[in-house]
Amino acid sequence: MVSPVLLIAVPLGLAFAASLVGLASKRLTKFVPVVAMLFNLVVSVSLLPVAFRAPIIVRTAGWAPPFSIHLVAGPLGLLLSCLIAFIGLLVAVYGMGYIREGAQAKYHVLYILILVGATGMVLTGDIFNLFVFFEILCISSYALVAYRGDSAGAEAGIKYLLQGAIGSSLVLIGIGLVYGMFGTLSMADIAANVRSVSTFRLFVSLAFLITGFGVEAAVFPLNAWLPDAHSSAPSSISAILSGIAIKAGVYAIARMVYTIYGAQSTLPCVAVIGVATLLVGEMCAFNQSDIKRLLAYSSIGQMGLIVFGLGMASVIGVSAALFVIFSHALAKALLFLASGYMIYRSGSREISSLDGMGTRMPLTSLCFAIGAFSLIGLPPFVGFASKFMIVRAALATADPFFVVLLAIALVGTVIEGAYFLRIVQGLYFKPTPEEAPEEGTRKEAPLSALVPVGVLAALIVAVGIYPGLVGRALGPAANDLLDRDGYVERVMGD
């Protein structure tokens, strides 16, 4: 059995090797992220069956938990690491052709570092290590948002950096408070002793941690950076930021609330925040005329749905939230990647300039439509299955509070349907705008873009028709998050 440490060590090594490879041959650099993510995908998938039997605990320097920095590769961690590696691989393939200008070697190094940060966050069992990986993810995404070096990129980058830096400081204060109370940084050790401290002190530290990670997770009202950052970044980076980076923030919040603190009493508040995020995101998205900004706001809306699912505190609710994480990662990566080349060909980010793309770029448009339908939640796409699970979970709580919130959340879905259907209508049923540059706009996206987009679309349809493909893995993963005693026992046991 390979050790889960390699999931972090190998890509991290390759990230810095990439710049050395760049010295030898400029053309080889772009293959390094593909190799790194392919390795991660293979290792994650091969470790999955082992982790479903019992989580793999990796000790460092021979010290048993709680005295070492340890990795806990449980069902949830490995499932998310599979997702990160898979999306990372597809976007890396896309990036080979898409990134043509600027400092390409630096792009590929930072790109791998984002994914290493996300993988480390989901695998670690140490709260400070979580912070370090969180910072690796954040710093490389600040730099990549400003990759193009244009005015929008620089402005979005500095906005994101300022808000992110304050968020990280809050996380660090929270960690300091936790260390002051428990004298340990191991998540399992903290979880075991959490009842020995007064509720007020727990609440203060949890508030710092949730607010800090909430900046990265873009929950309302901490989401001001997201539309700028996601729309100004290159499309491949937007796909990773929307598909992976904000999910890592949500994962950190869920780990804190459920496994470490067991703070079920804060969850109704979390659910309300989730629904508020959903409504704000969808209503802002409805007003946008810029396609990438619209997709960014729609990401905020979907994050709200995920947080709402997590707030239900039942196995089925958390499974539903994980399912939305999965379906949103696929669909939003697909939409950003497809719109990347549509923008490239039409030369504008205005939604009206995409009119008539259905005849100009038929395959890309078809995949875009599949992604949009999946996000709205139309059957037979995966978005339907995940949203349906949220509805089922909310009704299963039999609590009028959650049913009312669900009704509000479904209103958000209607708004989502309105703006996505408007775009798809433009793609297929509106004539090409007169002033469109005729030269080159009839060309389909290159193969390096069509393959990832096609694979994502195929997967959206396949999992939509057989939700069981993913559905069976969600239950154990949700248990990994909810079963605190089991978590403590398995990590500290031997």
Question: Shortest approach of another protein to residue 143 CB, angstroms?
Answer: 6
When the beta carbons of 34 and 280 are compared against another protein, the nearer one is: 280
DSSP class of residue 452 equals H
Q: Are 238 and 230 in contact (CB under 8 A)?
A: yes
Is 461 near another protein (CB under 8 A)? no
Please state, in angstroms and rounded to a whole number, the distance separating the CA atoms of residues 317 and 325.
Answer: 12
User: Which region among 101-109, 173-181, 410-418, 486-494 touches another protein (by CB under 8 A)?
Assistant: 173-181
Identity of the residue, 299 or 319, whose beta carbon is nearer to another protein in the bound complex: 299
Q: Is 336 in the site for another protein (CB under 8 A)?
A: no
| Distance of alpha carbon 77 from alpha carbon 487, whole angstroms | 13
Instruction: Report if residue 112 touches another protein, rule: CB under 8 A.
Output: no
Query: Judged by CB, which is closer to another protein: 132, or 421?
Result: 132
Pick the closest to residue 340 from 149, 90, 142 (CA basis).
90
Question: In sequence order, what are the beta bridge partners of 56?
Answer: 73
144 touches another protein (CB under 8 A): no
**Beta carbons of 122 and 170 less than 8 angstroms apart:** no
Size of the site for another protein (CB under 8 A): 36
Q: Binding to another protein by residue 175, rule CB under 8 A?
A: yes
Is the distance from CB of 144 to CB of 248 less than 8 angstroms?
no
Tell me which residues in 4-23 interact with another protein (CB under 8 A): none
Q: Which residue's CB is nearer to another protein, number 80 or number 194? A: 194
Shortest gap between Cβ of 110 and another protein (angstroms)?
11
- Pick the closer one to another protein by CB: 86 or 208: 208
Q: Which of 154, 363, 421, 465 binds another protein (CB under 8 A)?
A: 154
Burial 252-261 (b: 16+ CB within 10 A, else e): bbbbbbbbbb
Nearer Cβ to another protein, position 210 or 406?
Answer: 210
Of 237, 293, 227, 231, residue with least CA distance to 99: 237
Applying CB under 8 A, which of residues 157, 234, 412, 454 lies at the interface with another protein?
157
Cβ nearer to another protein, comparing 172 with 461: 172
Residue 17 or 173 with smaller CB distance to another protein:
173
Among 18, 185, 210, 405, the residue binding another protein under the rule CB under 8 A is 185
Residue 101 contacts another protein per CB under 8 A: no
According to CB under 8 A, which residues from 258 to 297 bind another protein?
Answer: 284
- Please report, for residues 137, 143, 320, 345, the alpha-carbon distance to residue 337 in angstroms, rounded to integers and kept in the order given: 21, 20, 25, 13
Question: What residues between 200 and 239 interact with another protein by CB under 8 A?
Answer: 227-228, 231-232
CA dihedral 458, 241, 300, 125 (to 10 degrees): 100
The rounded distance, in Å, linking the Cα atoms of 9 and 233 is 27
The token duo for 309 is: 């699912």
Question: Do 101 and 150 touch, CB atoms closer than 8 A?
Answer: no
Is residue 469 part of the contact set for another protein (CB under 8 A)?
no
Question: Alpha helices of 234-361 — where are they, by DSSP H?
Answer: 235-240, 246-254, 267-286, 291-310, 315-346, 357-360
Give min distance, CB of 167 to another protein, in A: 11
Interatomic CA distance for residues 238 and 349, integer angstroms: 14
Alpha helices in 54-184 (DSSP H): 75-98, 104-123, 127-145, 151-182
Task: Specify the residue, 3 or 169, whose C-beta has the smaller distance to another protein.
Answer: 169
Residues forming contacts to another protein in the complex (CB under 8 A) are 128, 132, 135, 139, 142-143, 146, 149-152, 154-159, 161-162, 165-166, 168-169, 172-173, 175-176, 179-180, 183, 185, 227-228, 231-232, 284
